[in-house]
Structure 1
Amino acid sequence: MGRCPNCGEWNTLVEEVVTQTKANTATGLRRTGTSSVQPELLGEVKFENEPRIQTDLEELNRVLGGGVVPGSLVLIGGDPGIGKSTLLLQVSSQLSRQGKILYVSGEESANQIKMRADRLNVNSDQLYIYPQTNMDEIRATINELKPDAVVIDSVQTMQEPEVQSATGSVAQVREVTADLMKIAKGQGITVFVVGHVTKGGAIAGPKILEHMVDTVLYFEGDLNHSYRILRAVKNRFGSTNELGVFEMREGGLAEVTNPSEIFLEERLKDATGSAIVVSMEGTRPILVEIQALITASVFGNAQRTASGLDRNRVSLIMAVLEKRAGLMLQNQDAYLKAAGGVKLNEPAIDLAMAISIASSYKDRGTNPSECYVGELGLTGEIRRVTRIEERVAEAAKLGFNRIMVPANNLQGWTPPKNIEVIGVSTLSQALKLALG
């Protein structure tokens, strides 16, 4: 048949050879042919630990788990204009001192990238700019150039010609990511991929995108402030929930080595409703000010508003305060926030939240040289938390004179001499010590 019965065109039929597979009638399994990969005993697998590649940004190295792993696929997501392209252009410039870097952009022309590079003082003989969206062309260029690292900005703009769907669709993103994974693992090339985010803050496209890559980083921050937070939510080569802090300046992103000072620098001395907590972000202790404002409710139902904190946790702690500490909060509006734009979500912040709420309700200020760590139970007990030694050492390093910790955390270690460590076992005891 030379003419297609569907479209009516001539000589468009193409013969496809169907591979015959032999089914196993006992198990229903099928083999498509011999494989070059054979099963190995775990103890006989040869493991070669490749050294990680270090960038000039120590914050980025730590979030990645100690540096860039060769042959890894790293996905970076964030809001528009937050600084993803700026970060990767700076990183590309730093990595180009150690090898060839191919920067593939589907959103900007070469002139636009050059303008941004001049502003960031980025110049390298090993950094190649390639404005392209066709994956066939990109694969051919990678095979010809043989770079040590590739940056794809962004994955939603890349297109597989064989896939008959719109650019940025689920099918396109899935196939492009699979192609990039083959390049990273097959040729040992480190691939950085920029991912757009949806209105809700999640990376756009299929969820399999995050499952396929080795590392997922979120670049967060408020466009009205200069500070940016790089957070790892998935990392096959290091700890998750690591956090790095950067400041956006005229010449690009600069790392902030001591973010605790930023979160505390504007704290008022005798303010009520303020409490300092030592929170752990991955392996790093960070001191953050938790602020609370308690006011009499004007409407029928009391309001519960939280910024940077879990609203359900706020409601739970207020219920415990009302039941176990005798504070009449059911007719009070509560507004809580973690100062500095950081998001806190661990049990150890419970005690500081309770003290800040009680401080605002009673209109009594807390000791400015005191901080609080502890999980609050529903019966009013203060429960132990993890990594207490690092938390206390960080508070002592920043000049705090006293820290309140769970009593059960005092066993098995020796506190530093330059800070007073007080163990508390109940909420009532903690409020009495903190507010008198």
Structure 2
Amino acid sequence: IKRCTGPCVGLINERDYQHDIDMSVSLLTGKNQGVISQLVDEMNNAAETLDYEKAAKVRDQIATLKRVTEKQYVSGRKGNTDVIASYLSGGQACVQVFLIRNGINLGGKAFYPKVPENVTSSEVLYAFVTQFYVHNEVPEEILTSEPLPEKSLIEEALSKRASVPVTIKHRTRGERTRWLEMAEENARMSLETRLSSRSGIAQRLDALRRLLEKEEIPERLECFDISHTMGEATVASCVVFNLEGPAKQEYRRYNIEGLTKGDDYAAMQQALERRYLRQLKESAPLPDIIFIDGGKGQLNVAQRVIDDLQIGAVELVGVAKGPERKAGEELIIFDRGKKEMRLQTDSEALHLIQQIRDEAHRFAITGHRARRAKARNQSPLEQIPGVGAKRRQKLLTHFGGFQQIEKAGREELATVPGISKQLAATIYDELHRLKN
């Protein structure tokens, strides 16, 4: 998106990159006015040297920064304050943290710690605060929505860690009261949204249980999809859903290799074998249900893999597109000869199946596009066995470009230092094979 200065590829020198880092640190620590002053100086210097393009660019940066700081401004006070509020509901907890640095609200984050039954908000905050500042910056002031047990001991420990006096308050006035009220409201809204989402997932999982006539709600679902363009850069995806919805940290992609181009059945087989051989080897959790984006052929391939690996407790479900490939017209195909069916468009079970199928499709196609783009940007020389980066550079230096290498004969290629006659023959044969 043309916003990176490209330090890893040498598009910016070390001095300018360090300048960018220093400016970023200043912004993140609330020193916005200092950054604006520096940018104003840069703009004036550029204008004086008649570099009007740079001056206009810096001017736009200043305007953008001023708009951002106007929204962030909350207080004229100096110093650092963390505002921490908790909210409990439905056996779940949310802790909202806001970071105030030199009167600037740098934003916040919601955390969802696991809590035991009958826990109080004060106990949640106490456990959170004692753990949060093990790995995070300790401010001079911490505001909490509830009084903390053993507050004096926590203050003493945090003061020692920060090397400055740290105070914890829950009784506030004026703007600090508004900060706490805002944090409490955010914690409440965040948890209600999360509970609503979890409730929706639970309802859909129960609808799926009834559809499959299971006694218990399935706790782990996995779905596979294959993506390629005319058989090129084939990628298989595996996405995982659990009782809380998508478990994105467990998603996996598989680059499919060594198969006939466009053979989706073989690609599905390879992906399933690689996935579950490893799961069995590592004693990792297996799914209750495996969804396959495809029809009977794909499902039969999956059934053979599952049978060969002897993990028959897993149920297989195929999701075939309708005649016009419209959402809601999917044909649901079951393993072991169960009758296939089309579900009502308002079916919660169908909505869950569509969600996991769509996520598998999205994850597969983004992986395929990335792999295809990488292949298109790759030199044909990189695909030839025995031609590494150094030999590739020697060839390009010797001949002056790829087109000249392509025109060279075997004997000419062999004159390049480090290129044997045998390797020269391989290079010649591979380049002409790729060309044809």
Q: TM-score, normalised by structure 2?
A: 0.25
Q: Which has the higher helix share?
A: 2
Q: TM-score, normalised by structure 1?
A: 0.25
Q: Which has the higher strand share?
A: 1
Larger Rg: 2
